[in-house]
Amino acid sequence: MLVLTNNPNIPFFNGELAHVVHEFENGNIEETILNLADLDAGLERVKACYHQVIFAAGGLVRTPEGKLLCINRLGRWDLPKGKVEPGETMDLAALREVEEETGLRHITLGPLLINTLHTYPLKGKQVFKETHWYAMTAPEQPLTAQTEEDITQALWITPNELPEILQDTYGNIKLVIEAGR
């Protein structure tokens, strides 16, 4: 995991970001924390190291009774999200993606919870993805998984079922769920 921070309690990184990103992507560095004096500028320099930068938005959806909306995509538990279309705002993209991926209606948009950053391989090259996550509420209702997006399940889970879901999800999804508590 490559972590960027601007924590004054950690010595600042003064090296070449492109070299660290290259070593990380080639598996020569498993995990590192880079403390940057200017986090925004450092993030832009890291993004510049990637073949493609994808902007996405999604939602952490709960019912008034406290159930959480989850999807299963490619065999792992996830939350609904997707790419932002040209000219679309992050919040409207988040609503659209939740609707498309789950069939959910009557969604109330809440505040921005967190932005997550991660990389993954796409067509043989590493891409950088920045996702904006919003709190949302909706009444419990039947869901429809968007199979053309490799989603095999969309379901409501109770707080008691959450630990099982967290065992089979991605680290960034755990951060979103924690931000929504």
Q: Residues 146, 59: one domain?
A: yes
**Is 168 a residue whose pLDDT tops 90?**
yes
pLDDT at 55: 96
Q: Is the pLDDT of residue 5 over 90?
A: no
pLDDT (0 to 100) of residue 18: 82
pLDDT at 45: 86
For the chain, what is the total number of helices (H) and then of strands (E)? 5, 9
SS3 assignment, position 148: helix
Same domain, 18 and 85: no
Domains contained in the chain, number: 2
Give the range of the structural domain holding residue 63, as residue numbers without chain letter: 52-179
- Per residue in 94-146, pLDDT tens? 999 999 999 999 999 999 999 988 887 788 878 889 999 999 999 999 999 99
15 with 100, same domain: the answer is no
pLDDT score of 16 more than 90: no
Who wins on pLDDT, 23 or 85?
85
One domain for residues 31 and 115: no
pLDDT at residue 1 in the model: 61
Q: Which H/E stretch holds residue 62?
A: strand 52-62
The verdict on 43 and 60 lying in the same domain is no
Q: Residues for the chain: how many in total?
A: 181
Nearest residue to 69 (alpha-carbon basis) of 112, 117, 107: 107
The token duo for 53 is 């930068």
CA distance 133 to 116: 8
Backbone angles phi, psi at 127, to 5 degrees: -120, 160
- Could you tell me which residue, 92 or 10, shows the higher pLDDT? 92
Does residue 142 sit in the same domain as residue 161?
A: yes
- Residues 32-86 pLDDT 10s: 777 788 888 888 888 888 889 999 999 999 999 999 999 999 999 999 999 999 9
Same domain, 7 and 74: no
Pairing between β-strand 108-122 and β-strand 125-137 as defined by DSSP bridges = antiparallel
Least confidently predicted of 27-36, 139-148, 168-177:
27-36
4: number of Cβ within 10 Å: 18
- Same domain for 61 and 134, yes or no, is yes
| Overall average pLDDT of the 12-34 stretch | 79
CA distance 116 to 174: 11
Same domain? For 94 and 149 the reply is: yes
